[in-house]
Amino acid sequence: MKEAVLVTYMGAPSSTKEIKPFLYRLFSDRDLINFGVPPFLQKPLAYLIATFRAPKVKPQYEAIGGGSPLVANTLEQVRLVEERLGLKTYTGMLYSEPLLERVANEIGVDEVDKLYHITLYPQFSYGTVGACIRDVEKLLPGKVALIKHVKSWADNPLYIQWIVDHLKKKLTKLSQKETAVLFSAHSIPAYFVKEKNDPYPQEIRSTVREVMKAFPGFTYRISYQSKVGPIEWLKPTTEEVLYRLKKEGFKNVVVFPVSFVSEHIETLYELDVEYGKLARALGIKYYRIRLNHKHPLLISAIVDEINKLRKE
């Protein structure tokens, strides 16, 4: 039996030329963002939003080097996973290159019998992990005899320790009384929770609870960032929580991007530039923890989840 691994992610524009196609694919996905219009209007509306939004976000990508490093970071992670497992490991993105639909054909040509699939979203949401599983199940049956999915690794001990190690370096130098830890997670549309009972907020809370067992004297908060489109998203926003922490008298805020496993536009621009500027304006010392996407603990967590599937 020929075994292989597939790592999926939504992807990101690696250059400014890729911004509009990426946004169009993203907003065309009705399972990810339902604008409340009839299905036949989803793509035309997605095209309009992508057309108007692309020029607005282009300066943000230019400010971080001309494109998102997410795809390059993912390819590095996948290489390390492949080395550790000794299994061919493919990378497929939903909305940017390397597109999953092309990777699926490559997997078929390679005549893989067993495929172990994991996303780089530790916490399950129907809009992220669910979308990746949906597309894998749509594109790969008939090409692979058996597909197994990792649906969540939010409480993987190695992943938890990866976050703890990141925070420890900063928190050991700061006053517990004057410091708050802010876990900023990527938001999802509010109707996912209301209508689908999406477990994402619960899994974010679970991850954070496990992490904070290592720092019992510190206050912590959870917030949500990266709202897009004219619909309601999860709250409270990261901006709102920064204002609250200021009112509560905290002098230091240590920010960890809890739903992310590598740097990209939401960390490098939204957290570093936009919220960093806000925190300084509020008189808060703002420490944003940078993510080591090649850290052995993170790679070990991914490998651990794949090995669990192999033993089933």
- Residue 31 predicted with pLDDT over 80: yes
The pLDDT value recorded for residue 197 is: 97
| Residue 87 to residue 176: CA distance in whole angstroms | 45
Write down the pLDDT at residue 60.
Answer: 97
Question: Quick check: pTM over 0.85?
Answer: yes
Q: What is the DSSP string of 40-85?
A: HHHHHHHHHHHHHHHHHHHHHHHHTTSS-SHHHHHHHHHHHHHHHH
**Which of 83-87, 148-152, 229-233, 267-271 shows the lowest per-residue confidence on average (mean pLDDT)?**
229-233
pLDDT digits (tens, 9 = 90+) for 230-240: 789 999 999 99
pLDDT at residue 119, rounded to an integer = 98
Tell me the residue length of the chain.
312
pLDDT band for position 123 (50/70/90)?
Answer: very high
Q: Supply the pLDDT for residue 1.
A: 84
Q: Residue 221: name the closest of 247, 195, 197, 196 by CA.
A: 247
Instruction: Provide mean pLDDT across the span 285-290.
Output: 98
Per-residue buried b or exposed e for 176-211, using 16+ beta carbons within 10 Å of the residue's own CB: eeebbbbbbbbbbbbebbeeeebbbbebbbbbbebb
Phi, then psi, of 253 in degrees rounded to 5: -130, 125
Mean pLDDT across the chain: 96
The pLDDT, as a whole number, for residue 35 is 82
Average pLDDT over residues 47-71: 96
pLDDT of residue 228: 75
Summarize the confidence of residues 279-298 as an average pLDDT: 98
Can you list the domains of the chain with their CATH numbers?
3-153+297-311 (3.40.50.1400), 157-288 (3.40.50.1400)
In this prediction, residue 121 carries a pLDDT of 98
